[in-house]
Structure 1
Amino acid sequence: MLPQKTKVAALCALLFAAPIVADDRIISELSSPVSNQFWWPDQLDLSPLRDHEMRSNPYGDDFNYAEEFQNLDIEAVEKDVNELLTSSKDWWPADFGNYGPLFIRLSWHSAGTYRTIDGRGGAGGGQMRFDPLNSWPDNGNLDKARRLLWPIKQKYGRALSWSDLLVLAGTVGMKNMGFDIYGFAYGRADDWEPDFVYWGPEVEMMASYRMDKDGELIRPLGATHMGLIYVNPEGPMGKPDPMGSAKNIRTAFSRMAMDDEETVALIAGGHTFGKMHGARKPDCVGKEPAAADIEKQGQGWINTCGKGHSEDTTTSGIEGAWTQTPTKWSSLYLSNLLNLEWEQTKSPAGGIVWHPKDKSMHEAVPDAHVDGKRNPPVMTTADLAIKFDPEYRKIAERFLKNPDEYKKAFGKAWYKLTHRDMGPKARYLGNNIPKDELIWQDPIPEVDYEQITDKDIVALKQQVLATELSVPQLVRTAWAAASSHRVTDMRGGANGGRLRLEPQKSWEVNNPQELNKVLTALEKIQSDFNEKAGDKQVSMSDLIVLAGAAAIEKAAQDAGHPVDVPFEAGRADATAAQTDAESFALLEPTADAFRNYYNETTSYRPVLEMMVDKADQLGLTVPEMTVLIGGMRSLDANANGDKHGVLTDKPGTLSNDFFVNLLSMDTKWEKMDGNEALYQGSDRKSGNNKWTATPVDLIFGANAELRAVAEAYASSDSDQMFVDHFVKAWHKVMNLDRF
């Protein structure tokens, strides 16, 4: 695609009959429809709230992957993958006669896009099948790996998702090459279109303009270059600087939820297998899949030099294997790295690579394809980072001295890498799921007591409403618990009751002082009930959601619209010991438009984009986002009790007043003096001040699409529809974490 400025300049030239140089690309693009974003690039983009609609899914609304999976013969699938590993094809022969290393890279790159800050990326959905990931430089020739697996996917159909198969392939590959895996879980359902993900600000692949003024990687990104999973293997910005590479590695892997030990284990273990490819000049290699000609049928990086594969393959531009036994598990990567001295050289493709200074090692590695040929082991600048960084080196030396510890560390780190975005174990399927309770899975205890009945629910609601707690306080508390959930990685939510625990109970957006007051009152109700109820118990996580439902019912009743808010019991309360406070802290909202909260210092996008981002992480549609924000304003549920956007004379009731008053022409809006982030609404006739609002409030009158939805809720015949839609959307958010 042409850069935005190029398109605009060309259009202006055409419209005003200015002479321009004929450019076939410009003329071709200008003869096609363009989006509103083309004409008004600052317009709020709502497209993330429309992705993954069921209309894209060929299996339809009723498809349930977990149910279909029950028909899968797991042993047969894994046997087929294992047989494929050594069934080399003439169109893409296996290095060293085994596709295991290729499939390990496939699995790694499928899962390795995961980032903790916003939960995006990861293996779930099989996003590597779609652009841009399908065509990233770092994923070069992995299109061949997926084509090798296609007969297996075709054989098992809907019972085996692509996203499971992509991870399974590398895991079976490890077993084939002598590694005892820690475990494997199925359960990743496929997506049918690409995610809308902010992968970085750059407009060309391999560029890097993503450091802040302090030289740190900007949030929420996890990789250092556009089109890479982590870091440039040749070094920062292609410079052979091992210590600079160590800094980038530590940042990238920490944003994937890996500590130093897990990082060393993953790099060393992963590079035990296979080789890199840079046997020919880059100009031998054709376009990536997204840009390839139609007759290539989705394959990219077609190599026209020599065989076009095997000993002529170019992918990363770096050539060579790390170890003397590239298809067997060993500690050779560590011993080579730590015990040999390395000198910088270049691959045939021109990539920076490091060879042993000891020339006797230059025939230590068998060639991947040419019989009788021997090669030196190699390292990249990123590999040398493990040797030169003091903390990484200590771990590497310990692993080399303790091979069993190293093997266990790699197994657990690989399991974490490939399952981190799946959420709690309740979503796992299969027969090889480890029994261990791992802290990064945000474990929640099993419910081992009798659940509350409908009669109990009614009584508990009455007790909640009999306290001194207000409707806004109860609504804010329930929202604070449930809205921490992210559909991007299935973390957070009301289940587990972690709102009671650090760090969530101290988050600024949750108003810790008010939250403590609410939790104290609810804990008293819980204690009294559980003491008298015998075998029945109510968890705090259930009671928090139940209290929110009671408050909404009261608010709707007070507005003249009686409604029953659905509630299902069954949540359990986690303990502090079951909570990784450091990891869970990354779920803290820097912005929450539903509570009209925005932290300018910590938010990584403008306030309106953060609104869409939060709604997307909650899996909401445009109407659901709209009705929830309007309802939360009428309920007076802003963070810290702020009144901005509370456009009603009856705060604390559930009405459509927000939309009615926002769209009224009786009000004139202006920027507030001394505060560009706030707006003052005054009566057009009297000039008297009526309301204050934030950009999040006013966008529902300013943006044409959002205004259309707001008008539907503001109409005189829509007050009941508004309440019904709010309750439905509220119930959805309260139950996002129920699997």
Structure 2
Amino acid sequence: MNVQNVHKLGGCPVNHGGNTALNNHPTKWWPNSLNLDILHQHDARSNPMDPGYNHRDAVKGLDFQGVWNDVDALLTDSQAWWPADWGHYGGLFIRLSWHAAGSYRLGDGRGGAGTGNIRFEPLNSWPDNASLDKARRLLWPVKKKYGNALSWADLLVLAGTVAYQNMGLKTFGFAFGRQDIWGPEIDINWGSDTEILAPTDERVDDLADANSMYNPLAASHMGLIYVNPEGVNGTPNPAETAKYVRMTFARMAMNDEETAALTVGGHTVGKAHGGVAADKVGPEPAAAGVEAAGFGWADPGFDGNANTEHTSGLEGAWTSNPTKWDNGYLDLLFKYEWQTVKSRAGAWQWEPIDIAEEDKVPDATDPSIKHNPMMTDADMAMKVDPIYREICERFHKDPDYLADTFARAWFKLTHRDMGPKSNYYGPFVPSEDLVWQDPVPAGNTEYDVDAVKAKIAASGLPAAELIATAWDSARTFRGSDKRGGANGARIRLAPQKDWAGNEPDRLQKVLGALSPIATETGASLADVIVLAGNVGLEQSIKAAGYNVDVPFAPGRGDATDEMTDADSFSVLEPLADGFRNWQKEAYTVSAEEMLLDRAQLLGLTAPEMTVLVGGMRVLGTNYGGEKHGVFTDREGQLTNDFFVNLTDMANSWHPVGDGTYEVRDRETGTVKWTATSADLVFGSNSILRSYSEVYAQDDNAEKFVRDFVAAWTKVMNADRFDLA
């Protein structure tokens, strides 16, 4: 699975300029200016909860069974303002959960259901999410009743799980614990398409090669969760669509069996809606008038009957009994030959040839009326693609196998971005540990930390190597899907031990010295790696003339190869690390933009990013001992020299033609240091310079050390959810 082609045109993992389209935003007038908005989002000022509110504590007191029961009761409580198909909201709620979770992509861990982001733009107004605004309003009474302890993020994905259970599927489980955000996620690059639903050609190098889709994108069009249901670029061709289905689901961490199960199981219930032609439907929520009360896609043909609703433009159900979990989807798919037709709304879909009356579908409002079932181009791919067909034939022969495979894949789909099981709450959490959860055994806390530190100090390893190794172990953390980090010491396992960015020779040298210490003292190697970084840092602080302790929390565990999905972990490989002034190769994306992306995934603020870069430079932790940005003659000491010399007007900066710069004495022209743009941006960008000036001040030399230690500790503990 190749998800690392960000060097291709349009493959930037960073959302240039964010989603800020306001005419007065600085990036409109100065598009080359570094936009720090992704580090400023979701601050306390946008959060309506009380200071100190802890959702982990709140969710523990939730009436979990009560919530489940209320959602279950709501499924058949059809409302006149948005009536349920066949009197059952199961299909609608499943689609809501699916689309809330389905925006997740493995490449950068962003998207997904973990934050309730479908409530906000752009997802709220994507055409693929048409009418899900109504599904959320239907759930409002449940959210209102249970309040803070029940997040929207949890409720949106619980609804689909309850629906499946209600309709006869034995679900695999459900975990509460997701925490809401309160505004759009501007850090997500949804694509640089010229318009919503622009042709797939804008997202690929080669339309015939689905794998040439620019990363980290997965959906075939801006505004869709997966692929175009009518076919590639709206042209029915199941064999070609199969390629995009496979690529899209692979980028969501799903294999072929899981993909087929999700397709079959997702369309075993519910229906698509094509009430009127798309050009007759009103604007999406973000473009609708205030009188719409936040709703979008007004349907002029809607008369209060479920069979006149409009969502995708396709029209019909996939099975003869669309409110029950059964094998009807595969029965019909393999029983009949299918042909392309246009829905009443003008969308391409597939319908069976010469279907028997008993296999037709009752009308969603009037059961005396029967309709043909329908299939999307992606559904037909399950029959046409030889790999998917073989899997689906096994499912057809063994419905229990399908049900179990789907239940597990659904659980994975709706929980993939929650991180480890320590983030799971409630009585419905399955006991089984799954490899995609990146399990880590509990670590020992009953050992002598000071004794371990003494052994590390006596090892003779240079402080810079200890610091760099701890950093490399921790920097893989992604707040987007709560993967990676130092816990588990996976830096010693494949694939991380061989990543170029981890300097394998240096890494093995350090691990060779630290592993016996872990064995001798009873500490996990994960703890020892982090503690070694702290030891090196404390040595550097002392050398600079300060006495500041670096906090440490024991308890990390050591994962094994069996606990590690190496292929899944491959996407965590850093392509660049501005904190260590390194890039794997040259990219169209600037070094400073990639630094921002890494900082945001680590959960850092702009000041924290700033202080860490300045400190890492003077500590001598640059990749391979490179001297770019080491603006000090006291390398190895944690001083504020980087900022002092960066802001010193006695120095001038000069590009030298290879993407690097010389810092020269303004009077003599003597080259004092070299630098990259990831160094000099802290003196050229107006916001970053304001932070740099704080740390360059004479009265803030010790503050710099304290702030560095705080930011360092935050990174080392980013994956310690047990400490939250």
Structures share a fold, TM > 0.5?
A: yes
Q: How many angstroms does 1:604 deviate by?
A: 7.5
Contact 1:510 1:640 in 2 (8 A): no
Task: Look up the equivalent residue of 2:456 and give its one-letter code.
Answer: V
Aligned match for 2:142, one of 148, 152, 160 = 152
Specify which of 491, 498, 518 is matched with residue 506 of structure 1: 498
Q: Which residue type is aligned with residue 628 of structure 1?
A: L
Corresponding residue of 1:692:
674
How far apart in 1 are the matches of 2:324 and 2:246?
27
Q: Secondary structure at the match of 2:672?
A: strand
Q: Out of 581, 590, 593, which is 1:596 matched to?
A: 581
Residue 609 of structure 1: SS of its match in structure 2?
helix
CA distance in 1 between partners of 2:393 and 2:450 (Å): 62
C-alpha distance after superposition, 1:397-426 (max 9, x if no partner): 111111111110000000000000000000
What letter matches 2:429 in structure 1? I
CA distance in 1, matches of 2:674, 2:495: 32
| Residue deviations 1:285-326 (CA, integer Å, cap 9, x gap) | 111111110111111111112416522212111011100010
Higher RCO structure, 1 or 2 (CA under 8 Å, sep 6+): 2
Distance in structure 2 (CA, Å) of the matches to 1:506 and 1:119: 22
The aligned counterpart of 2:534 is: 549
- Between the aligned partners of 2:428 and 2:480, the Cα distance in structure 1 is 24
Q: 1:278, 1:348 within 8 Å by CA — same for their partners in 2?
A: yes
Structure 1 residue 508, shift from structure 2 partner: 0.6
Compute the displacement of 1:450 (Å): 5.0
Structure 1 pair 398–664 and aligned structure 2 pair: CA distance change class (3 A)? same
**TM-aligned CA deviation for residue 78 of structure 1:** 1.1
Deviations 1:202-254 (A, max 9, x none): 13211141113666110111111001001101011111111111111111101
The 5 Å alignment of 1:726-737 reads: 726-737=708-719
TM-superposed deviation, 1:647: 1.2
The match for 1:451 is 446
Whether the aligned pair in 2 keeps the contact of 1:669 and 1:679 (CA below 8 Å) is yes
Residue 312 of structure 1: aligned partner: 308
Instruction: Report what 1:10 is aligned to.
Output: none
Q: Does 1:652 align with 2:647?
A: no
Q: How far 1:667 sits from its partner (Å)?
A: 2.0
User: Following TM superposition, by how much is the alpha carbon of 1:58 offset from its aligned partner in structure 2, in angstroms?
Assistant: 1.0
Cα distance in 1 for partners of 2:280, 2:508 equals 65
| Aligned with 2:196 (options 178, 185, 205) | 205
AA aligned to 1:554 is Q
Matches within 5 A, 1:270-419: 270-307=266-303, 310-360=306-356, 364-419=360-415
Query: Which residues of 2 match residues 437-586 of structure 1 at below 5 A?
Result: 437-447=433-443, 449=444, 451-452=446-447, 456-529=448-521, 537-586=522-571
Contact 1:363–1:374, Cα closer than 8 Å, also in 2: no
Give how far 1:77 is off: 1.1
After superposition, where does 1:215-294 map in structure 2 within 5 Å? Answer: 216-294=212-290
Q: Does residue 613 of structure 2 align to residue 629 of structure 1?
A: yes
Match of 2:661 in 1: 679
Amino acid at match of 2:473: A
| Equivalent pair of 1:591/1:597 in contact (CA under 8 Å) | yes
For the aligned residue pairs, the C-alpha RMSD in angstroms reads: 1.6
Task: Give yes or no for contact 2:445–2:555 (8 Å, CA) kept in 1.
Answer: no
5+ residue gaps in structure 2? 1-19
Among candidates 58, 61, 65, match of residue 48 of structure 2:
58
Amino acid aligned to 1:201: S
**Cα-to-partner distance string for 1:123-158 (whole Å, 9 max, x where unaligned):** 111001111111100000000000000011001100
Match of 1:13 in 2: none
**Deviation digits for residues 449-502 of structure 1 (CA, Å, limit 9, x no counterpart):** 4522xxx22232222122221111011000011111111000011111111111
1:236-290 Cα shifts (integer Å, max 9, x gaps): 1111111111111111101100000000000000000111011312233111111
Q: What is the number of residues matched between the two proteins?
A: 696
Q: SS of the residue aligned with 1:417?
A: helix
* Rounded Cα–Cα distance in structure 1 between residues aligned with 2:342 and 2:648: 69
Q: Does 1:104 align with 2:86?
A: no
Displacement of 1:640 in angstroms is 2.0
User: How far off is 1:363 after superposition?
Assistant: 6.3
SS at match of 1:236: coil
Structure 1 pair 359–659 and aligned structure 2 pair: CA distance change class (3 A): same
Structure 1: which 5+ runs fail to align? 1-28, 530-536
Mapped to 2, the partners of 1:681 and 1:635 lie a distance apart of 19
Using the alignment, how far apart are the partners of 1:171 and 1:558 within structure 2?
57
1:265–1:410: 8 Å Cα contact kept in structure 2? Answer: yes
- Distance between the aligned counterparts of 1:707 and 1:556, measured in 2? 24
CA distance in 2, matches of 1:645, 1:442: 36
Q: Normalising by structure 1, what TM-score?
A: 0.92
Q: Distance in 2 between matches of 1:359 and 1:158?
A: 50
Residue 47, structure 1, aligned to residue 42, structure 2: no
CA contact (8 A) 2:342 2:348 kept: yes
Q: Aligned partners of 1:441, 1:371: CA distance in 2, in Å?
A: 44
8 Å Cα contact 1:319/1:348 also seen in 2:
yes
Distance (whole Å) between structure 2 residues aligned to residue 324 and residue 163 of structure 1: 32
